[in-house]
Protein backbone atom coordinates (compact mmCIF):
# COMPACT_ATOMS: atom_id res chain seq x y z
CA UNK A 1 0.00 0.00 0.00
CA UNK A 2 1.43 3.39 -0.90
CA UNK A 3 1.88 6.23 1.59
CA UNK A 4 -0.88 8.38 0.07
CA UNK A 5 -3.41 5.60 0.57
CA UNK A 6 -2.24 5.06 4.15
CA UNK A 7 -2.71 8.75 4.94
CA UNK A 8 -6.19 8.80 3.39
CA UNK A 9 -7.15 5.82 5.54
CA UNK A 10 -5.68 7.56 8.59
CA UNK A 11 -7.76 10.67 7.81
CA UNK A 12 -10.94 8.60 7.71
CA UNK A 13 -9.98 6.86 10.96
CA UNK A 14 -9.20 10.18 12.66
CA UNK A 15 -12.63 11.52 11.71
CA UNK A 16 -14.35 8.32 12.86
CA UNK A 17 -12.42 8.45 16.14
CA UNK A 18 -13.17 12.16 16.68
CA UNK A 19 -9.44 12.92 17.03
CA UNK A 20 -8.84 16.49 15.85
CA UNK A 21 -5.05 16.46 16.46
CA UNK A 22 -4.82 13.22 14.47
CA UNK A 23 -6.88 14.70 11.65
CA UNK A 24 -4.71 17.82 11.42
CA UNK A 25 -1.55 15.72 11.43
CA UNK A 26 -2.69 13.29 8.75
CA UNK A 27 -4.12 16.02 6.50
CA UNK A 28 -0.74 17.79 6.65
CA UNK A 29 1.07 14.54 5.88
CA UNK A 30 -1.27 13.82 2.96
CA UNK A 31 -0.83 17.34 1.56
CA UNK A 32 2.94 16.85 1.77
CA UNK A 33 2.57 13.74 -0.34
CA UNK A 34 0.60 15.64 -2.97
CA UNK A 35 -2.91 14.48 -2.07
CA UNK A 36 -5.50 16.94 -3.35
CA UNK A 37 -8.41 18.53 -1.55
CA UNK A 38 -11.05 16.39 -3.25
CA UNK A 39 -9.38 13.16 -2.14
CA UNK A 40 -9.09 14.50 1.41
CA UNK A 41 -12.77 15.50 1.41
CA UNK A 42 -13.72 12.01 0.26
CA UNK A 43 -11.67 10.42 3.06
CA UNK A 44 -13.39 12.71 5.59
CA UNK A 45 -16.81 11.75 4.23
CA UNK A 46 -15.97 8.06 4.57
CA UNK A 47 -14.96 8.62 8.20
CA UNK A 48 -18.28 10.34 8.91
CA UNK A 49 -20.36 7.32 7.87
pLDDT of residue 47: 98
From first to last of its 49 residues, the chain has per-residue pLDDT tens of 999 999 999 999 999 999 999 999 999 999 999 999 999 999 999 999 9
Count of other CB atoms within 10 angstroms of residue 35: 20
Please report the pLDDT score of residue 30 as a whole number.
Answer: 99
Residue 33, pLDDT score: 98
Model pLDDT, residue 49? 92
Contacts of 8 by beta carbon, 8 Å cutoff, 6+ apart = 30, 35, 39, 40, 42, 43
8 touches 39 (CB < 8 A): yes
Domain boundaries, given as residue ranges, for the chain:
3-48
pLDDT at 48: 97
**From CA 20, how far away is CA 2, in angstroms rounded?**
24
pLDDT score for 29: 99
Cβ of 16: how many Cβ atoms within 10 Å?
13
Amino acid sequence: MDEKTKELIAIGAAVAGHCQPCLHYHVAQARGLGVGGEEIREAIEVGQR
